[in-house]
Amino acid sequence: MKLENKKVLVTGASRGIGKTITEKFIAGGAEIWGLDIKEPEDLQERLENAGGKLHWINADLSKTTEVEAVIEKALKESGGFDILVNNAGITRDNLSFRMSIEDWQKVLDINLTAAFLIARVVGREMIRKRSGSIINMASVVGIHGNGGQANYAASKAGLIAVTKSLAYEMASRGVRVNAIAPGFIESDMTAAVPEDARKKMIDSIPMKRTGTQEDVAEAALFFASESSSYITGQVLTVDGGMFI
Ligand code: NAD
């Protein structure tokens, strides 16, 4: 198994891509600390199915002054993480001229600031052990921009810049830092997209389909495992060819 005995922190693990990554990594032999603002309804069942390989942390990553303490505590309990998946993220879409400063700030706080703080706390410990892999969930929107998503695009572009900067800082200490840039993936986040916009979107994707959470989880597994041992500072786009 690719992740035998690896300890992993996954943020935004309640549902969607984070949940799928959690399940895939447990199947790969990892022990997971799942963090989310919302406890999933099926938590008890998931804990039982994982047979001791899943632990749960309730935390609100928008409370940026509290994030470091939450992660320090998780570090102590786990004994240190081998892999971090900074996956939690939100959208608060609006045209730039109508966007409230609160919606701007909230998206930046969760998607960028919290991810940076978590990477610093977890990364410090990885450096001590001279090994680790950090995976940041960005977006194609962070590379190309998107109308109505200035806050989200800025947060994901920032996350890509953090990924590359941390990769430079940590490479000689055995820690790799990479990002995944998903395109249009089926999840609760994208469920609200109206049917006509969805059709248009699919038409614009060369592979003529939306992505699955499994597609993204496979990319995360690649960056988490030794299969990518000579790769750092990279952004892997998972978008069916939407941007080639
Ligand atoms: P989702 O909304 O289904 O899941 C996000 C998770 O993050 C949820 O479980 C949510 O509770 C958690 N979360 C939100 N705010 C939080 C907070 N303050 N503290 C802690 N946890 C919080 O979304 P998803 O589609 O699974 O997206 C996962 C990641 O992938 C996000 O970073 C998203 O930006 C990124 N992404 C998704 C798509 C897509 O098409 N779905 C495309 C590109 C990038």
pLDDT interval class at 224 (50, 70, 90): very high
Distance CA 50, CA 65 (A): 32
Q: What percent of the chain has pLDDT over 70?
A: 100
Assess whether the C-beta atom of 242 lies below 6 angstroms from ligand 1.
no
Q: How far is the CA of 14 from the centre of ligand 1 (A)?
A: 9
Q: In this predicted structure, what is the pLDDT of residue 16?
A: 97
**Strand order through the sheet with 31-36:** 54-58, 31-36, 7-11, 83-86, 132-137, 175-182, 235-238
Residue 141 has pLDDT above 90, yes or no: yes
The residue from 25, 33, 116, 152 that is catalytic is 152
In a domain, 32, yes or no: yes
Residue 105 has pLDDT above 90, yes or no: yes
Residue owning tokens 């690896």: 6
| Mean pLDDT computed over 78-100 | 98
CATH value at residue 113: 3.40.50.720
Q: In this predicted structure, what is the pLDDT of residue 139?
A: 98
Residue 134 has pLDDT above 90, yes or no: yes
| Mean pLDDT computed over 222-230 | 98
Q: What angle separates helix 115-129 from helix 150-170, to the nearest 10 degrees? A: 10
185 DSSP 8-state letter: B
Q: What kind and span of H or E run contains 153?
A: helix 150-170
Average predicted confidence (pLDDT) for the chain: 97
pLDDT interval class at 174 (50, 70, 90): very high
Q: How far is the CA of 36 from the centre of ligand 1 (A)?
A: 10
pLDDT interval class at 85 (50, 70, 90): very high
230 given a catalytic annotation: no
Contacts of 126 (CB under 8 A, 6+ apart): 80, 81, 82, 84, 132, 134, 170, 173, 174, 175
In a domain, 243, yes or no: no
Q: Which atom of ligand 1 is nearest to the CA of 156?
A: 34
Q: Which domain holds residue 144?
A: 7-236
Q: In this predicted structure, what is the pLDDT of residue 120?
A: 98
In a domain, 57, yes or no: yes
Q: In this predicted structure, what is the pLDDT of residue 1?
A: 83
Residue 157 backbone dihedrals phi, psi, to 5 degrees: -65, -40
In a domain, 241, yes or no: no
Assess whether the C-beta atom of 61 lies below 6 angstroms from ligand 1.
yes
Nearest CA to ligand 1 atom 6: 12
| Mean pLDDT computed over 90-98 | 98
Q: How far is the CA of 90 from the centre of ligand 1 (A)?
A: 5
Q: In this predicted structure, what is the pLDDT of residue 61?
A: 98
pLDDT interval class at 30 (50, 70, 90): very high
In a domain, 117, yes or no: yes
Residue of 39, 60, 71, 90 best suited for mutating to test ligand 1, as the one with most atoms within 8 Å of CB: 90
Q: In this predicted structure, what is the pLDDT of residue 185?
A: 97
Residue 144 in tokens: 């190309």
pLDDT interval class at 162 (50, 70, 90): very high
pLDDT interval class at 127 (50, 70, 90): very high
Distance CA 19, CA 103 (A): 25
In a domain, 144, yes or no: yes
Residue scoring higher pLDDT (111 or 1): 111
| Mean pLDDT computed over 88-102 | 98
Q: How far is the CA of 190 from the centre of ligand 1 (A)?
A: 10
Assess whether the C-beta atom of 15 lies below 6 angstroms from ligand 1.
yes
pLDDT interval class at 65 (50, 70, 90): very high
Residue 188 has pLDDT above 90, yes or no: yes
Q: What is the rounded radius of gyration, in angstroms, for the C-alpha atoms of the chain? A: 17
Give tens-digit pLDDT for 3-26.
Answer: 999 999 999 999 999 999 999 999
How many domains are there within the chain?
1
In a domain, 2, yes or no: no
In a domain, 191, yes or no: yes
Identify each DSSP E strand in 74-221 by its residue range.
83-86, 132-137, 175-182
